[in-house]
Amino acid sequence: MVRSKVTGEERSGEEAVSASSQAITIRAAKGFEELEACVQLQVATWGYDAADIVPRRMFSLAARIGGQVLGAFDEDRLVGFLLALPGVRNGHAYLHSHMLAVVPELRNAGIGRSLKLAQREDALARGIDLIEWTFDPLVVKNAYLNLNRLGAIARRYAHDFYGPTSSPLGGGLPTDRLYAEWWIRSERVERALRGEVPEPQVQATVIFPPP
């Protein structure tokens, strides 16, 4: 079982806010009440309508089939969660990290990064060396966390990955996404987690739609 603690002194992205002196515990979310709290935080974060919400039963299923449902807790209150699903591509097992959310008042307190580190710890313990997720290339703060703070790489681009979304955060734009590949045993990741910002290596430029 993954279990760790983070305080509000930790940093996330380019900002640092000491949100709380209370220790935050990172552990597996369990039981219908905690999983339902994940669902409600999902709704509060993205504002989805019923058609787009990932329901509680999917959180429960993910935890039972080799995925991950990690929660960040301030005592008994859920203040963040991470949802990942197991995947296989070309015979290689990996985790696809589908969602990560933190309550608004703690979004600059390092909780998102701590959830990712707990995810990595659990994956390494299970012999998994790759975690993937997608992110909006227009959200600079997330890109900074993914590529600079965590050491992920991005070399695949998907146009309108999810199709139309009910979330107002999308602004009516297509849901274009970059794939983050987090090779969690790599030297690049180890250096990034020590605070050494990886040198950017641009190998290709994506222009979409094509000229």
**Tens of pLDDT, residues 14-68:** 333 334 436 899 999 999 999 999 999 999 999 998 888 999 999 999 999 999 9
User: Per-residue confidence at 2, pLDDT binned at 50, 70, 90?
Assistant: low
Sign of CA dihedral 163, 176, 196, 73: negative
pLDDT tens string 116-147: 999 999 999 999 999 999 999 888 988 999 99
CA distance 184 to 190: 8
- Strand runs (DSSP E) across 31-76, as ranges? 68-74
The per-residue pLDDT for 204 is 73
pLDDT tens string 72-115: 999 999 999 999 999 999 999 999 999 999 999 999 899 999 99
The matching CATH number, chosen from 3.10.450.50, 3.40.630.30, 3.30.365.10, 3.30.1660.40, for 3-193 is 3.40.630.30
Q: Tell whether the model's pLDDT for residue 207 goes beyond 50.
A: yes
pLDDT tens string 16-25: 333 443 689 9
Rg of the chain, C-alpha, whole Å: 17
The per-residue pLDDT for 168 is 80
CB 6 within 8 A of CB 111: yes
Enumerate the domain spans of the chain: 3-193
User: Per-residue confidence at 199, pLDDT binned at 50, 70, 90?
Assistant: confident
DSSP letter, residue 150:
S
- The residue assigned the tokens 């999917």 is 58
Is the model more confident about 20 or about 188?
188
Is the model more confident about 53 or about 172?
53
CB 6 within 8 A of CB 23: yes
What is the share, in percent, of the chain residues with pLDDT greater than 90? 68
